[in-house]
Amino acid sequence: MGSQTTVNERNSEASAARRLTEAKRNAVAELLRVSPIADELATRFADAGHRLYLVGGSVRDALLGRLSTDLDFTTDARPEQIQRIVSGWADAVWDTGIEFGTVGAAKHGTTCEITTFRADTYDRVGRNPEVAFGDDIEGDLVRRDFTVNAMAVEVSTKTFVDPHDGLEALARRALDTPATPEESFADDPLRMLRAARFVSQLGFEPAPRVVKAMTDMAGELRRITPERVQTELSKLIVGPHPRKGIELMVDTGLAEYVLPEVPGMRLAIDEHHQHKDVYQHSLTVLEQAIDLETNHEPRLEPDLVLRLAALLHDIGKPATRRFEPGGGVSFHHHEVVGAKMVRKRLRALRYPKDVVNDVSQLVFLHLRFHGYGKGEWTDSAVRRYVTDAGELLPKLHKLVRADCTTRNKRKAAALQRSYDDLEARIARIAEEEDLARVRPDLDGNEIMRILGLKPGPLVGQAWKHLKELRLDRGPLDHDEAVAELRRWAAEQGIDVPDTTDRPADPSGE
């Protein structure tokens, strides 16, 4: 046993060494790629008697081989001096962050944010620091959130500055803090949520002391505004490994202050009795939705709406759980309750209106397919499914397929075949009818002319009636639509003009 442990340790050390070597190669390649901009900038700062460092996330991303055209620098120059140095060199300069010591500049498509060394203090009531400028790079790095973000490169000399062993942590995919986690998170509690985001985004593993501090201090997240929380949550959700980030949030208690409905799903056993709980089922659905998303459109951006809907599609189950005679469990109308819960939670997190509406609508619709059976739906039901989903139909297809997590392979295959059949029927009907634009067979102007109405609520009611007929029966010919409109008007007690809906005789007879 001991020899096997030694072998494993050696393999782990060798793997970390290989990653370290690869990281250094990546850094050299990436820094060479952006060196013309960085070197020009460094020369201007050196000529003015100042030092310039590439810092933080930019160094981390260079080491990972994923450096973007958004570069972060730090310097001993004060903000006003930075402005003078970049003036005349940059294509554009902005000072929206100057109160925090940051000046922005753009050059040849590269965005540079240049910040004076910081030595901030925090009141530990809010999260905004008392801004204070520092005099050296070491003091600036120690106040940063994680050691992998506390590295710098002096641009002129290409000197690597790593006082907190961030490079080694990066090679081990380890997430730790330069100061103690308690100090770091007390200064800015959002860093705890950022840790979960880095787990999702970069596949890092938080150090045990970081996890303990997150658990002990989770309640400090109440100091953070919903907008800032939402930004970090969204970055976590669209990362490559969102399940790991969510699990860290739940295990440490952070989720209770961000998405309390998610840990709440651990209380409910799903109706198929195939999963430990609805929480684990929802994480599996999230992963399967991501697989469908990336398999179908690998070059598109991650789909925030689909992923949120996959994670939250069953949050109505705990509130609707009922124990049935014989030992069964039901969750009647959990999609209705869940849609309302989603709307309330996403609004509280200040998500845009379109995201709130789309996610809640997907949650509301996700269960409807289960009434399809082996194709018992009428064409009318298929039309309604498409119409209710609207532009969300491609996302709904993925969500419904992802929601099939049964371990019974025969049942899973049958469900997928049924959905294949539904999609084929949608395609067939779409060829015959314009399903993407289901409209009544008469427009508002024709309705007013035939019924002798002026614009008002009755016209809208007549329009809706004809649309329902269109969904139920498909396209109607013109005369049939007019007859149905007149029949509806008579039922409503509307006095219809005694005229026929025929074009005038050109002869005038």
Nearest CA among 381, 332, 340 for reference residue 357: 340
Both 309 and 402 in one domain: the answer is: yes
Q: Which two tokens stand for residue 456?
A: 């008002």
Instruction: Name which of 140-149, 217-226, 247-256, 466-475 the model is least confident about.
Output: 466-475
Question: What pLDDT sits at residue 393?
Answer: 92
Q: Which residue has the tokens 């009428």?
A: 378
Both 77 and 181 in one domain: the answer is: yes
Question: Domain range holding 326?
Answer: 274-437
* Segment 80-106 mean pLDDT: 94
Both 84 and 187 in one domain: the answer is: yes
Is residue 121 included in any domain, yes or no? yes
Q: Are 423 and 397 in contact (CB under 8 A)?
A: yes
Both 204 and 222 in one domain: the answer is: yes
pLDDT in tens, 30-69: 666 667 888 899 999 999 999 999 999 999 988 887 888 8
Both 150 and 298 in one domain: the answer is: no
What average pLDDT is seen over the chain?
Answer: 85
Q: Which two tokens stand for residue 361?
A: 């609508």
Both 210 and 302 in one domain: the answer is: no
Decide which of 211 and 411 is more confident. Answer: 211
Is residue 266 included in any domain, yes or no? no
Give the confidence band of 441 by pLDDT, cuts at 50, 70, 90: low
Instruction: Name which of 199-203, 311-315, 347-351, 451-455 the model is least confident about.
Output: 451-455
Give the confidence band of 383 by pLDDT, cuts at 50, 70, 90: confident
Both 433 and 445 in one domain: the answer is: no
Question: What pLDDT sits at residue 262?
Answer: 96
Q: Taking 80 as the threshold, does the pLDDT of residue 347 lie above it?
A: yes
CATH number assigned to the domain comprising residue 87:
3.30.460.10
Both 184 and 228 in one domain: the answer is: yes
Q: How many domains does the chain have?
A: 3
CA 106, CA 300: separation in Å to the nearest integer?
27
Query: Across 233-358, where does the E strand assignment appear?
Result: 322-323, 329-330
* Pairing assessment for the beta strands 322-323 and 329-330 based on DSSP bridges: antiparallel
Give the confidence band of 505 by pLDDT, cuts at 50, 70, 90: very low
Is residue 427 included in any domain, yes or no? yes
Please identify, among 437, 456, 486, the residue that sits at the C-terminal boundary of a domain: 437
Please identify, among 420, 437, 454, the residue that sits at the C-terminal boundary of a domain: 437
Give the confidence band of 125 by pLDDT, cuts at 50, 70, 90: low
Is residue 264 included in any domain, yes or no? no
Both 417 and 293 in one domain: the answer is: yes
Is residue 248 included in any domain, yes or no? no
**Phi-psi group of 164: left, alpha or beta (phi > 0 → left; psi -120 to 50 → alpha; rest → beta):** alpha
Give the confidence band of 436 by pLDDT, cuts at 50, 70, 90: low
| DSSP-derived secondary structure letter, 118 | B
CATH number assigned to the domain comprising residue 305:
1.10.3210
Give the confidence band of 189 by pLDDT, cuts at 50, 70, 90: very high
Residue 311, C-beta contacts closer than 8 angstroms, at least 6 positions apart: 237, 242, 246, 262, 282, 283, 285, 286
| DSSP-derived secondary structure letter, 126 | S
Give the confidence band of 236 by pLDDT, cuts at 50, 70, 90: very high
* Segment 148-158 mean pLDDT: 90
Both 83 and 189 in one domain: the answer is: yes
pTM: 0.78
Please identify, among 234, 257, 286, the residue that sits at the C-terminal boundary of a domain: 234
Both 164 and 93 in one domain: the answer is: yes
Is residue 243 included in any domain, yes or no? no
Q: Where are the alpha helices (DSSP H) in 371-456?
A: 379-389, 393-402, 409-432, 444-451
Both 145 and 24 in one domain: the answer is: yes
